[in-house]
Amino acid sequence: MNAVAEPTSVPEGLLTRFDVSGPRYTSYPTADRFVEAFTAEDYAQALSQRRSGAAALALPLSLYVHIPFCESLCYYCACNKIITKHHDRAAPYLRYLSREVDLHTAVIGRGQAVSQLHLGGGSPTFLNDAELRELMGMLRRNFNLVPGGEYSIEVDPRTIDPQRLDTLAELGFNRLSFGVQDFDPAVQKAVHRVQPADQVFALVEAARARGFESINVDLIYGLPQQSPESFDRTLAQVNQLRPDRIALYAYAHLPERFKPQRRIATVALPSAASKVSMLSRSLEAFMGAGYVYVGMDHFALPGDALAVAKRQGRLHRNFQGYSTQPDCDLIALGVSAIGRIGATYSQNAKTLDEYYDYLDQGRFPVVRGLAVTRDDLVRRAVIMALMCQGQLQFESINLAFLVEFKSYFAAEMKALETLVEQGLVTVDESGIQVTAQGWFFVRAVAMVFDKYLQTDRTRARFSKII
């Protein structure tokens, strides 16, 4: 079997047929399956096991740090954030982050190798330069950020200027992600995120001049006041900007779950047909401009590390999406942050008060998580092979987990026949191959092997799969 072929186009009819909700599979089982029965003590035990296991083999770590603060509310946002203009709230938060790091190093020791670091939020650039230096200094004192690693930060263009880019470069960040969403002024006003295109263009040019290895731009389609024609203009501007990577997300309007979205009038949202058209035009525009469709909602220029990893069959997935870094344990720091250690997942407290309270007690601020079962591990391997390599060898699963694939997944193989008929996958004696067309719908292929979805068809909590 070969790596999945490079897709070239996709019929709108197929996009419409698969306009359904489903998990993003940044983990399996997905975070909605976490339970409160998994406690801070369970997390401490998983860390302790890592020290005697993976650490002994010098396997690197990934770090995620959640900075929840934002100065301004974006109405579409579904992230865990705290809206405040009081920047003095950052200082105590950094002190508690340091306590959380100390709890980790007390178990696993200082100097653990880290090959990937991501600062997300919220808006990490809510922190001023001195606070960013304090945070990075604290991380470097406790972990070994190895040369050649991926060190990224999410940037709100409204909170940064070229001089601040100097600080980010000095601190060791080599990847930036700019939140753009849409360049159209009417859309920006409707979602309460006004940032002139000229400002973003100037920042990207300045970042290139400072040698950042990869620059990503986030876009969202399906926002209020958007139309296929208005989004075409944004697509043209993004192609002119030519970032190294593009993340294109479908807006999921779930006002019953996310209070900020209640400020968006449903009548202002584009129709389902318009959203499908926006996606179709985006695929055509970006691939026509030379971008590689990495998978799901990610595009990259051919020379970018993500596109290279896709060509070479080295893609991986973690809670930040597709990655070039090998599958590794993820320590997640900060309020609401989600991590993975060994065969466990965990999530920190979602409110500052609860997060601070746990740390005041000297406990990890973990409030829920999951110890995965053997069946979870088998299915995770299958789903990640499909999501990342677009193919699966039966023998590799048989040998790794001592199962007979076709018997173990008899019901799933039967369900896969429909996707075979639709031309999304091919199946032979050796394994499963996602077709070039099927790569656009790889989440639908992965969902076939999700045991939890087989018994729970309530998918409103998920985003659309395309």
With respect to residue 263, please indicate whether it lies within any of the assigned structural domains.
yes
93 and 221 inside one domain: yes
43 and 11 inside one domain: no
What is the per-residue pLDDT across 90-148, written as a single tens digit (0 to 9) for each?
999 999 999 999 999 999 999 999 999 999 999 999 999 999 999 999 999 999 999 98
Separation between Cα atoms, residue 390 and residue 434, nearest integer Å:
5
With respect to residue 361, please indicate whether it lies within any of the assigned structural domains.
no
What is residue 456's predicted lDDT score, i.e. its pLDDT?
A: 65
3-state DSSP: the chain helix, strand, coil percent, rounded to 5? 45, 20, 35
- Domain of 162, in residue numbers: 31-331
270 and 412 inside one domain: no
Separation between Cα atoms, residue 331 and residue 114, nearest integer Å:
10
270 and 169 inside one domain: yes
Q: Any residues with CB less than 8 A from the CB of 193 and at least 6 apart, and which?
A: 72, 74, 179, 181
20 and 72 inside one domain: no
**End-to-end CA, the chain:** 25
Count of domains for the chain: 2
With respect to residue 346, please indicate whether it lies within any of the assigned structural domains.
no
What is residue 321's predicted lDDT score, i.e. its pLDDT?
A: 82
What is residue 246's predicted lDDT score, i.e. its pLDDT?
A: 97
With respect to residue 220, please indicate whether it lies within any of the assigned structural domains.
yes
Confirm if 177 and 171 have CB atoms less than 8 A apart: no
150 and 293 inside one domain: yes
Q: What pTM value is reported for the model?
A: 0.90
- Residue 278: give its domain's CATH number: 3.80.30.20
201 and 283 inside one domain: yes
What is the per-residue pLDDT across 76-89, written as a single tens digit (0 to 9) for each?
998 889 999 999 99
Per-position b or e across 291-328, b if 16+ CB within 10 A of its CB: bbbbbbbbbbbeebbbbebbeeebbbbbbbbbbbbeeb
Respond yes or no on whether the N-terminal peptide bond of residue 29 is cis (omega within 30° of 0): yes
296 and 228 inside one domain: yes
Separation between Cα atoms, residue 41 and residue 358, nearest integer Å:
12
With respect to residue 308, please indicate whether it lies within any of the assigned structural domains.
yes
66 and 153 inside one domain: yes
With respect to residue 324, please indicate whether it lies within any of the assigned structural domains.
yes
431 and 283 inside one domain: no
Domain boundary pick from 303, 331, 359: 331
Separation between Cα atoms, residue 466 and residue 464, nearest integer Å:
6
With respect to residue 436, please indicate whether it lies within any of the assigned structural domains.
yes
In the predicted model, residues of the chain with pLDDT beneath 70 are 1-12, 15-16, 19-20, 53-58, 456-466
What is residue 235's predicted lDDT score, i.e. its pLDDT?
A: 98
- Residue 418: give its domain's CATH number: 1.10.10.920
With respect to residue 339, please indicate whether it lies within any of the assigned structural domains.
no
